[in-house]
Structure 1
């Protein structure tokens, strides 16, 4: 299951992905994210991704995250904060970010508030455990 919210005033896309996700659902999410993203303009575009309850059904689902990174690069996203609980998933996300060049604007967090602070300011005021 996924949910996408747009905050046009703050040029922010928020999304959450939860549960055991199959490749088909991930492709639906990507299509909806693309449709939503074209409605936002501005040079300060940010994305908040809540993936704490994301459970990919297969490695192919994780690979679809590459498309999210590519889309973010194409859109000129300034910052993308991902909140995760799984260190294994965080390692996969880090690898994909490096491979796509998105590692320049993506950070992974375990604390939602810290992620939101970083999105707003570019700085993290707290020092909670940041994932790789």
Structure 2
């Protein structure tokens, strides 16, 4: 067999092994959420973020799977909860054991950026614009 073909086969084999290890590692560190756990995560995030939310009506999204994160105190199960409003996105990472919000991020869009929030890019209009 040609040495280049042998090298190509070996590289493909190594790539398959790397992808397999990555997939197994990802699956080991996730867990599925039932409706009760989703409700717990949402209520915990809403309670912790009352001041940030300010009484506005938000659309709430919870991921289908949580993550298991290794810490110095042992493994922690966390779930990301996302609150979206017209121009505000608030994300919270909720510890499923205690109900505490361990990470929070608030992003507010204003001006011309509000059009880009939901993927309303204008690239296609620029391409078709006559010069």
Superposition TM-score, scaled by structure 2 size: 0.25
Structure with the largest fraction of strand: 2
Structure ID, larger Rg: 2
User: Larger RCO: Structure 1 or Structure 2 (Cα < 8 Å, ≥ 6 residues apart)?
Assistant: 1
